[in-house]
Structure 1
Amino acid sequence: MVGQQLVTGLLEQKPYTEVVILVRESLEFTHPKLKQVVVNWDELEKYESAFHQADDLFCCLGTTIKKAGSQAAFRKVDLEYPVTAAKIAERHGIKQFIGISSMGADAKSRVFYSRTKGQFEEEIKKTGIPSVHFVRPSLLIGDRKEHRTGEKMGEILLGLLDPLLKLGKGQNYRAIPGSLVATAMIRIALQEQKGIHIYSNQKIREIAEAEPLSQK
C-alpha cells in the first residue's frame, strides 16, 4: 500500500532520474523513469545488478503472520529480505536507507512482531550505510490489494477514538494513511541527513503535512 504511493511520488521528483523497483511479478504500470526488476526474493543475490549506481534504498516490505503462514515465513519478509537488500546496496555504495518499521519496535520485546521489527532495525544499523532512517507508523490505513480483517477492525476502532487521540501522547497511536507515510519517506530522503534517525508516528505525520510535497 505504501510502496505504490511511494513509487508514484518518487517518479514526480526531479532529483530521481530513475526509479528501480524489485517486484515478484510485473506491474501493469509504466513510466519513462520506472524500471521494474522481477526477482525471486529467496535468491536476491542473483539480481545484484539492480542495485548498481543506486543512491537511496526504500524498503516497504511487510506482511502479516496470517498471510505468511508462519513466524519463520514472516521473518523472511520483514527481516531477512530487507537486510539482504541493504547489504547488497551497501556493497554498491548506497547513500541512504529509508525503511518502514513499526511503532514499538524493540529487538528485546517479548512480542514476536515488535521483536522482529526491532531486529530488522538493529541489523540495518550494522550495515554501515551512511544515512539510515526508520519510520515507525501506527496502524496503516488506505486501500490494500488484500483484505486484512484484524487491521480493518483496528482501523474502525482507532477511527472512533481519533478525536481523543489527537490530544497529548495519544497522537502517537492515531491510525495513519499510507499516503502520509510515503510522503514523509520521500521528504526525509530529500533532506539527505547522515546518521541513524527514527521517526515516531506523530513525527511522520508532521513531516508529511508540513507543506505540499513539491515536484522539484
Structure 2
Amino acid sequence: MKKIAIILGATGLTGSILLEKLLKDDRYETIKLFSRSKMEGLPSKVIQFTGNLLELDTFKTNFTGDEVFCCIGTTAKKTPDKKVYKAIDYGIPVTAAKLSKENNINTFVVVSALGANAKSNIFYNKTKGEMERDVLSTKIENTYILQPSLIGGNRKEERIGEKIGLIIFKLFQPLFFGKLKKYKITEALSIAKAMVNLANLKPAKRKIITSNYIKQISKINN
C-alpha cells in the first residue's frame, strides 16, 4: 500500500531536496506540505496547507499520514528574537511530534544539529537539545533524530558568512578522522537520502543519528 508523507520545511535546503526525492519515489502516493506560503509548480501528488506554523495545532485534522519529515530550522540572523527562535526550532518540531502521536503516525524523522544538549549554556545547542528530549518523550515508535554537522549544499538564499565558513571548514576536512569524523561537513543531499532510508528501511537501532552515520545510511540502496 502506498504511503502519505508529511514534510515541514520543504522550502529550505534539505527540505527541498527531500521533496524532490519523495516526488520521484513510487512508495508515496501523496505528499502533504505544511508551510507559511504556497509553493508553485508542484504536481498533483502534493497537497499544500498554508498558515502560521507556530499554531500547528490548528492543522490537526489535516495532519494525517504515514510518516513525518521535519526539516524546520531558522538562524540567529533571520530570527534575532530568541523567543521567536525557540518557538520555531523547538516549538514546531515538538508540536508536530505531539500531533503525530495523537494521529497515530508511527514514523517521525527530524533534523537537529550536532552538539544538541538540553543542559548546554549555549542557546542554540540548548534549544536543539530540549527539542530532541521532548520529541523523544512522545514515544513515537520509529523516531529518528539526525544531528548533522555544518550543512553543505547550494542554498537559494545568499548567506555570505556561512559560505565563507564552509570554504574554510572544507580546508580542514582532511584533518577530521577517528572521533573527529562526525564534524565533517554533512551534505544536504546525504541528509535527505538518509531521512528517506530511515523511514522506509529502518536500518538503525539508534534514535540519534550523528553526521558520520547520516552519510553511511544515505548510501544504502544508492
State TM-score, norm by structure 2. 0.89
- Structure 2 counterpart of 1:187, which letter? N
- 2:192 maps to which residue? 182
Tell me by how many angstroms 1:196 deviates.
5.9
Q: 1:207 aligns with which of 185, 210, 217?
A: 217
Counting helix residues as a fraction of each chain, which structure ranks higher? 1
SS at match of 1:108: coil
Measure the CA separation in 1 of the matches of 2:70 and 2:58. Answer: 19
- Structure 2 counterpart of 1:140, which letter? I
Q: 2:144 aligns with which of 123, 126, 133?
A: 133
**Is residue 74 of structure 2 the alignment partner of residue 63 of structure 1?**
yes
- Structure 2 counterpart of 1:16, which letter? Y
Measure the CA separation in 1 of the matches of 2:49 and 2:40. Answer: 13
- Structure 1 counterpart of 2:174, which letter? P
Q: 2:179 aligns with which of 145, 162, 169?
A: 169
Tell me by how many angstroms 1:12 deviates.
1.8
Which structure 2 residue ranges, 5 or more long, are not aligned? 1-12
Deviations 1:145-166 (A, max 9, x none): 322233222201111112222x
Measure the CA separation in 1 of the matches of 2:117 and 2:87. Answer: 18
- 1:106-121 aligned at under 5 Å gives the runs 106-121=117-132
State TM-score, norm by structure 1. 0.91
- Structure 2 counterpart of 1:115, which letter? K
Contact 1:103–1:136 (Cα < 8 Å) also in 2 = yes
Which structure 1 residue ranges, 5 or more long, are not aligned? none
Name which of structure 1's ranges 56-65 and 138-147 shifts more when overlaid on structure 2: 138-147
Contact 2:106–2:140 (Cα < 8 Å) also in 1 = yes
**Is residue 24 of structure 2 the alignment partner of residue 12 of structure 1?**
yes
SS at match of 2:172: helix
Higher relative contact order (CA 8 A, sep 6+): 1
- Structure 2 counterpart of 1:47, which letter? F
SS at match of 2:78: helix
Measure the CA separation in 1 of the matches of 2:211 and 2:122. Answer: 19
SS at match of 1:68: coil
Measure the CA separation in 2 of the matches of 1:155 and 1:131. Answer: 32
Contact 1:57–1:97 (Cα < 8 Å) also in 2 = yes
Measure the CA separation in 2 of the matches of 1:175 and 1:119. Answer: 24
**Is residue 80 of structure 2 the alignment partner of residue 51 of structure 1?**
no
Q: How many residues align?
A: 210
Measure the CA separation in 2 of the matches of 1:70 and 1:12. Answer: 38
| CA spacing shift, 1:210–1:130, aligned 2, 3 Å | closer
Measure the CA separation in 2 of the matches of 1:164 and 1:196. Answer: 27
